[in-house]
Amino acid sequence: MREAQLRVLANVDTALCEQVAAGLGLPAPAGNPANVTPSPALSQITNVPGPVAGRKVGVLADAGSDLAGIAPSSRRPWPSWA
């Protein structure tokens, strides 16, 4: 099973496959990774920040937290526990 997964990984990233194989004490199989151009539409990591419209921010606070600096940025009323 490990060898089969290493063969799949070798076709994705040969350097990572070599590291994983070394950690497992197995030889790294030869792979044939595809040469693809990354798509900006599918990327989750960019160097240019995008629009903030639609993004949500969560705030974790306990009963003793000072919420004074957070409340002005909220668009919704605070829940009853806040």
pLDDT of residue 69: 73
**Domain count along the chain:** 1
- The pLDDT tens digits of the residues spanning 62-78 come to 888 887 777 665 555 55
1 is in which domain, residue-wise? 1-35
Looking at the domain assignment, is residue 8 inside a domain? yes
Token representation of residue 63: 């009963």
pTM exceeds cut of 0.85: no
Long-range contacts, 17-26 (Cβ 8 Å, 24+): 26/2
Instruction: Please compute Rg for the chain using Cα positions.
Output: 23
pLDDT average, residue stretch 48-54: 74
| Contact partners, residue 32, CB within 8 Å, separation at least 6 | 10, 11
The verdict on residue 28 lying in a domain is: yes
Question: Which is more confidently placed, 46 or 19?
Answer: 19
Count of C-beta atoms within a 10 Å radius of residue 80: 5
